[in-house]
């Protein structure tokens, strides 16, 4: 990689433990550039961590992305490296890496083998510091994955699912941000040609008529709205409020969008 290699960190471990990972990386590779994507992923929420990483990776130049949302740490769950067109991802074999890897152009998945564990003293509760961080350094230095592990085809996969498109578009909520905006797995391309129209949306058990707008400011204060998020996915939001609180829904709840333009004006 570059002479000033870029390593990103996405975790649920908080800043104090993240500092230990950063210290390990910098002690091995002082010239590394470290970028914190997030350290406040909800504890043990692999799907949330996967989305946070997925939403961020395409905005970076070539990098090594480390993800630590790892409820199975210290067990027999495997540790992975994923090679993509846009760099490498390192983390546990629980699916957290896969959506981001596909977004970057997945090429090959490797299991980190025991013989390549980079330290002799690995804490069974902190593989992020003692395995993933040193492996990221090796990859940033240009070490090939086959020197650190072996190819793997039976890894744990995770995806956000595909919406069903018929007379309406049916998907589900995959992420709720700290504003209470509801990000769905429905591609924005399915609705963006109808910007400015009204549509009917069922979210969980609630059906509402909302405007389809380019940004939050085009709705009235406190009004629910439909827009296309910065991740190019359909988002249900509330201007200067929380759509999650207003609708009492959460990740996994069903979202049905009627064909835009069918609502009354």
pLDDT, tens digit, 9 for 90 and up, residues 42-76: 999 999 999 999 999 999 999 999 999 999 999 99
Rounded to whole angstroms, the Cα distance separating 190 from 170 reads 11
Mean pLDDT of 140-158: 97
Of the given ranges (88-97, 142-151, 255-264), which has the lowest mean pLDDT? 255-264
pLDDT band at 264 (very low <50, low <70, confident <90, very high): very low
Rounded to whole angstroms, the Cα distance separating 21 from 175 reads 26
3-state SS assignment for residue 55: helix
Residues 81-100 pLDDT 10s = 999 999 999 999 999 999 99
What DSSP string describes 91-154?
EESSSTTHHHHHHH-EEEEEEEPGGG-S-S---TT-HIIIIIHHHHHHHHTT--GGGTEEE-S-
Residues 29-51 pLDDT 10s = 999 999 999 999 999 999 999 99
| Conformation bin of residue 240: beta by default, left when phi > 0, alpha when psi is -120 to 50 | left
Rounded to whole angstroms, the Cα distance separating 129 from 24 reads 7
pLDDT over 90 at 260, yes or no: no
Q: How deeply is 7 buried, as exposed, middle or buried, from its count of CB atoms within 10 A (0-12, 13-18, 19+)?
A: buried
Residues 184-203 pLDDT 10s = 999 999 998 888 899 999 99
Neighbours of 122 (CB within 10 A): 16
pLDDT at 57: 98
Rounded to whole angstroms, the Cα distance separating 245 from 29 reads 45
List b or e across 103-118, with b for residues whose CB sees 16 or more CB atoms inside 10 angstroms.
bbebeebbbbeeebbb
Residues 202-240 pLDDT 10s = 999 999 999 999 999 999 999 999 999 999 999 999 999
- In the chain the domains, ranked by start, together with CATH numbers, are 6-151 (3.40.50.10790), 164-257 (2.40.30.90)
**Alpha carbon distances (Å) from 143 to 35, 48, 88, 149:** 21, 30, 11, 11
pLDDT at 118: 56
Q: Are strands 164-165 and 106-112 parallel, antiparallel or unpaired?
A: unpaired
pLDDT at 117: 56
- Radius of gyration from C-alpha coordinates of the chain: 20
pLDDT at 120: 65
pLDDT band at 128 (very low <50, low <70, confident <90, very high): very high
Rounded to whole angstroms, the Cα distance separating 114 from 79 reads 10
Residues 160-184 pLDDT 10s = 999 999 999 999 999 999 999 999 9
List b or e across 131-166, with b for residues whose CB sees 16 or more CB atoms inside 10 angstroms.
bbbbbbbbbbeeeebeebbeebeebbebebeebeee
- The model's pTM is 0.93
pLDDT at 195: 84
Residues 8-31 pLDDT 10s = 999 999 999 999 999 999 999 999
Q: Residue 189 gets which letter from DSSP?
A: G
Neighbours of 26 (CB within 10 A): 15
Compute the mean pLDDT over every residue in the chain, rounded to the nearest whole number.
94
Sheet holding 149-151, edge to edge: 33-38, 6-11, 63-68, 87-92, 79-84, 106-112, 149-151
pLDDT at 85: 98
| Conformation bin of residue 165: beta by default, left when phi > 0, alpha when psi is -120 to 50 | beta
């Amino acid at each position: 990689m570059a002479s000033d290699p870029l390593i990103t960190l996405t975790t649920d471990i908080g800043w104090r433990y993240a500092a230990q990972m950063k210290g390990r990386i910098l002690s091995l590779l002082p010239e590394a550039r470290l970028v914190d994507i997030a350290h406040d992923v909800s504890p043990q929420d692999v799907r949330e961590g996967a989305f946070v990483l997925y939403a961020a990776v395409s905005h970076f130049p070539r990098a090594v992305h480390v993800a630590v949302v790892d409820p199975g740490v210290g067990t027999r769950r495997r540790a992975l490296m994923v090679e993509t067109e846009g760099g490498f991802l390192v983390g546990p074999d629980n699916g957290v890496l896969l959506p981001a890897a596909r977004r970057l152009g997945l090429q090959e998945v490797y299991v980190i083998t025991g013989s390549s564990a980079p330290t002799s003293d690995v804490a069974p509760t902190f593989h992020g510091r003692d395995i993933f961080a040193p492996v990221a350094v090796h990859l940033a230095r240009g070490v090939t994955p086959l020197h650190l592990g072996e190819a793997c085809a039976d890894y744990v996969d995770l995806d956000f699912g595909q919406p069903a498109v018929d007379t309406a578009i049916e998907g589900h909520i995959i992420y709720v941000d700290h504003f209470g905006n509801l990000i769905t797995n429905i591609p924005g391309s399915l609705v963006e040609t109808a910007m400015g129209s009204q549509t009917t949306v069922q979210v969980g058990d609630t059906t509402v008529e909302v405007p389809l707008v380019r940004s939050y400011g085009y709705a009235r204060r406190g009004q629910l709205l439909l827009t296309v998020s910065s991740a190019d996915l359909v988002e249900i939001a509330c201007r200067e409020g929380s759509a999650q609180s207003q609708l009492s829904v959460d990740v996994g709840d069903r979202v049905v969008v009627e064909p835009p333009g069918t609502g009354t004006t």
